Structure 1
Amino acid sequence: MPALASSTTPERSDPEAEPLTLDPDTPTIETLDMGFDEQFVKPEGRPGDVAAQWAAYISVGVFLLTTWIMTLSNNPTSLGLFFFHPILQSLSIAMFTYGILTLQPTSQAKTKAAGLTRHQLAMIALGVPAICLGTLAIVWRKSMSEHPHFTTWHGTIGIISIAWMVVQVALGGASVWFGGRLFGGNPRAKLVWKYHRLSGYLLFPLFLLAAHLGGAWSSWSTANSAFVVRLLAFTVSPIVLLAAILVRVRTSKMQFF
């Protein structure tokens, strides 16, 4: 007589303990529940996530559009290389915002992989080149005009953010590319990724602070926009954006101990 099947269900592994990227031959979806998980992706959102996402997109949209309208409507041909600074820096913050939002809710292997692809496209393919070119434009312009560099909090915080970003991108890429081999593979690479995530949440407010100082208080901005415009676009919008990002944070993805 055949033995009865055990009624004990294997304990499910914590999805946040799994690597962000897996070997192509490694099964990423459990075969329990008669194949249900193989056909459907479970909902990952929490109450308030959708509202926070909309708040983030609207606030960064106000910031981006206001910056572009101000730049394009104030004799842009006379700005020289400075023209590219607000245009590209604001674009990069919009890309960073999308890159963060698209990866925040993911907790399953399938959605993690798709989210990581979108995250890297937004961050590395668009955001990082934009902010580097925007920074180069203002540095080059000041050098050509023989003006001193980093004489304001806007410039100082901005260059600190750029330097931090370079390290951030290097650690993040090394922790997921080629299975995290640079750090000895998983789980070490997974731990580095957690620090990369935490570092990103600390770096993003620094970018927003630099944007606030430049947009709300720089001599060019104050001369070319009304106070209420600067208040809404460069003070209120960054605060709403940061709050929306933080509301969607999954602290379970940053358990270090």
Structure 2
Amino acid sequence: MPASSSTRPVPKPDQANAEDYELLLPQGQDQGQGANTPTSPAIAPMGQEEQFTKSEYRNGDTMANYAALCASLLTLVVTWFAIFSNDPSGLGWFALHPPLQVLAMTIFTYGILTLQPTSQPKTKAAGLSRHQVAMFMLGLPFITIGSFSVWYNKYSKDKPHLISWHGVFGFLCMMWLYGQVALGGGSVWFGGAAFGGGMKAKALWKYHRLSGYILFPLFLFTINLGGAWSGWAERNTQPGMRFIAYTVCPVVVLASVYWRVRLSKMKFF
């Protein structure tokens, strides 16, 4: 008489939601089953887990991904060339501001892109790890140092602050960014203990996403104001390249990121 196959209890809906960011193993492996049997699926060798993951990409997602990254990199290259080819040592603390800000925005763009298409527990967990490294460990320190450098440059020369739209939007974006990091980090670090843990903390993620999708274009607009309209940029970059790097590229980045948005991750009603 054939042995009956082992069954696994079907998780309740709230249990399934709570496991969204867990790295799940193929069925059977987490139960300590050994060699493949007729009643258990084949366990992939290490490094081959992707065969258990369904494709999460829609038509146009890959093209949008490359478009956003290439446009971000072009803005980065133009900015760095403009700074380092125009006597950066004579610019004082200001020399750190444009390069670090656009570097941070390039990293932020990657951090958003890498998490957008994920919809399965395993890919969500991996995407969240990449997202946090990009946003919190790399992008945030760079943009903070870049913002401090322009503030200190004005302070050391006794010049007024926030006298341009670029400065005003930059200041508002930075304050928003710190709140964004606190909301996102607090909802996942230490099990979301800062917001009550469990499903209470996870429920805040849709607001974190929505806030990020509003803040991101404001940062891009701030780049446009500084790169396309500031006196320094007009004196040190060619008009055509300035238009492409600080007007066309931010539009391409924003359109590409928005193309990949998953509205299913932001259910408010």
TM-score above 0.5, yes or no: yes
After the TM superposition, which residues 102-251 of structure 1 pair with which residues of structure 2 at under 5 Å, given as runs? 102-251=114-263
Q: Paired residue for 2:92?
A: 80
Q: Partners in 2 of 1:78 and 1:45 — Cα distance?
A: 47
- Go from structure 1 to structure 2 and tell me whether the alpha carbon gap of 1:14 and 1:229 turns closer, same or farther (over 3 Å shift): farther
Counting aligned pairs with the same residue, the percent is 48
Matched-pair contact (CA < 8 Å) for 1:174–1:180: yes
1:21 aligns with 2:47: no
Offset, 1:17: 4.2
The AA in structure 1 aligned to 2:109 is T
Q: Partners in 1 of 2:20 and 2:179 — Cα distance?
A: 20
TM-superposition CA deviations, 1:31-88 (whole Å, max 9, x none): 7x95479851111111110010011011101111111011111111111100000010
- Go from structure 1 to structure 2 and tell me whether the alpha carbon gap of 1:213 and 1:197 turns closer, same or farther (over 3 Å shift): same
Matched-pair contact (CA < 8 Å) for 1:21–1:176: no
SS of equivalent residue, structure 2 residue 58: coil
Q: Partners in 2 of 1:183 and 1:98 — Cα distance?
A: 27
Q: Partners in 1 of 2:221 and 2:146 — Cα distance?
A: 17
Offset, 1:186: 2.2
The AA in structure 2 aligned to 1:250 is R
Q: Partners in 1 of 2:14 and 2:260 — Cα distance?
A: 20
Q: Partners in 2 of 1:256 and 1:135 — Cα distance?
A: 34
Structure 2: runs of 5+ lacking an equivalent:
29-38
Q: Partners in 1 of 2:16 and 2:213 — Cα distance?
A: 18
Q: Which moved more, 1:38-47 or 1:192-201?
A: 38-47
SS of equivalent residue, structure 2 residue 114: helix
The AA in structure 2 aligned to 1:254 is M
Matched-pair contact (CA < 8 Å) for 1:67–1:87: yes
Matched-pair contact (CA < 8 Å) for 1:95–1:127: yes
SS of equivalent residue, structure 2 residue 118: coil
- Go from structure 1 to structure 2 and tell me whether the alpha carbon gap of 1:76 and 1:186 turns closer, same or farther (over 3 Å shift): same
- Go from structure 1 to structure 2 and tell me whether the alpha carbon gap of 1:256 and 1:248 turns closer, same or farther (over 3 Å shift): same
Q: Which moved more, 1:153-162 or 1:191-200?
A: 191-200
1:254 aligns with 2:266: yes
Matched-pair contact (CA < 8 Å) for 1:16–1:107: no
TM-superposition CA deviations, 1:186-227 (whole Å, max 9, x none): 211111111101100110001101000000000100011111
The count of corresponding residues between Structure 1 and Structure 2 is 249
Q: Partners in 2 of 1:29 and 1:191 — Cα distance?
A: 27
- Go from structure 1 to structure 2 and tell me whether the alpha carbon gap of 1:67 and 1:11 turns closer, same or farther (over 3 Å shift): same
Q: Partners in 2 of 1:236 and 1:193 — Cα distance?
A: 31
- Go from structure 1 to structure 2 and tell me whether the alpha carbon gap of 1:37 and 1:172 turns closer, same or farther (over 3 Å shift): farther
The AA in structure 2 aligned to 1:89 is Q
Structure 1: runs of 5+ lacking an equivalent:
none
Q: Which moved more, 1:243-252 or 1:69-78?
A: 69-78
Matched-pair contact (CA < 8 Å) for 1:194–1:254: yes
SS of equivalent residue, structure 1 residue 79: helix
Moved over 2 A (4+): 10-22, 27-31, 33-39
The AA in structure 2 aligned to 1:112 is K
- Go from structure 1 to structure 2 and tell me whether the alpha carbon gap of 1:155 and 1:110 turns closer, same or farther (over 3 Å shift): same
Q: Partners in 2 of 1:37 and 1:171 — Cα distance?
A: 38
Matched-pair contact (CA < 8 Å) for 1:45–1:105: yes
Q: Partners in 1 of 2:26 and 2:119 — Cα distance?
A: 12
After the TM superposition, which residues 62-73 of structure 1 pair with which residues of structure 2 at under 5 Å, given as runs? 62-73=74-85
